[in-house]
Structure 1
């Protein structure tokens, strides 16, 4: 009988102990540690509920309702490189296409050599190095095309307004030499890659981003 009484008493005692812990003030918790005050957060949240954004909604989650919330990068440098990465590989660091181009930004082995990377396999499995490579290649291309950026930015060529970001994106696709030919021929020499993407298309698709973060550098290298 005494044993049964003890068993009945254990349950309410345990409940009281749990309630005491739950309601006890957490004096040691410093809320300031978790504050975002003073941080430079370059994101905002967009509510997408119209047909203009339907592709972005479906990519976010095709099974959700029509109201979807997700980080919107806008026309920032991060927005630029992530948009370009999505076009190149759907943002997959570890992919290799049918022509042997590697990674999130689809680099060729010869381009990698220009920015100091000589081991494509090591490059493919190192996301941090891939990000360094993207920036170094963009810096190098910006230096090569610096005079063309100054000369043609703001003009309309082949129906496309020329912007610095469009030029850098097109150089990523086809190389700075092909971009020079396009600009200096006023659109008559429009090179396309094996999958049909052209210099003109990239200049149009990636126009208007803020690429001031990219510094023109003749000797840019991808260094960890």
Structure 2
């Protein structure tokens, strides 16, 4: 009996091992809808860069004095307090050293690094130009020169660009005398671009100082 068991048991073990070794694997069928039979198109552009540009515009603050000065500052320097242009004009409103000295500012470095001082100087300069041009403002506001209506804000913006004396000549010559700055911007352009702002809250002053 023992001899029979010792003979049969190894045979049973061999049969079990063989059955595991030759067990058939399950097969999976891939559905037709999931098969890839051809290349898939790429969904993003090849060798192409799409650049989205952002249009920068000056802040719109209406026709108030604040709107006037911010629009003018944007044209002068894009509103940058700390910039010096290629001709040496300084700050947000691009003042020259000579103009600053007329208003009692003698340190260009201090001026460039003090936004509050720049705002004060701008207002003082508007008041100063209003005094110089007071008769021309009274005479020409409401009239048209070369098809453009003359306004107080346009006159004072042009004075900021080219000086009050040159604006007088432009008005009194009815546009025949016009000057440009070093970058090609003329008085007529500023008179038109900055027309219609209300800057009546800045009174004219003779020789104002900081």
Q: What is the CA–CA distance in structure 1 between the aligned matches of 2:60 and 2:74, rounded to whole Å?
A: 14
Considering fraction of residues, name the structure with more strand.
1
Instruction: Name the TM-score, length of structure 2 as normaliser.
Output: 0.72
User: Rg bigger for which structure?
Assistant: 2
Partner of 1:99: 87
Corresponding residue number in structure 1 for 2:192 = 204
Gaps of 5+ in 1: 1-56, 61-69
CA RMSD of aligned residues (A): 1.4
Aligned twin of 2:118 = 130
SS at match of 2:119: helix
Q: Does 1:164 align with 2:161?
A: no
Matched, 1:178 2:166: yes
Structure 2 partner of 1:59: 56
Off by >4 Å, runs of 4+ in structure 1: none
List runs of 5+ in structure 2 lacking aligned partners. 1-53
Structure 1 residues 32-52: Cα deviation after superposition (integer angstroms, max 9, x where no partner): xxxxxxxxxxxxxxxxxxxxx
Q: Deviations over 1:122-154 (max 9, x none)?
A: 100000000000000010000000000000000
> Normalising by the residue count of structure 1, what TM-score does the alignment of the two structures yield?
0.68
**Pairwise mapping of residues 74-153 of structure 1 onto structure 2 (< 5 A)?**
74-153=62-141
Match of 1:30 in 2: none
C-alpha separation in 1, matches of 2:167 and 2:154: 10
Deviation of residue 202 (structure 1)? 0.3
Residues 59 and 70, structure 2, Cα contact 8 Å, conserved in 1: no
CA shift, 1:160, in A, is 1.3
Q: Matches of 1:215 and 1:137 in 2, distance apart?
A: 11
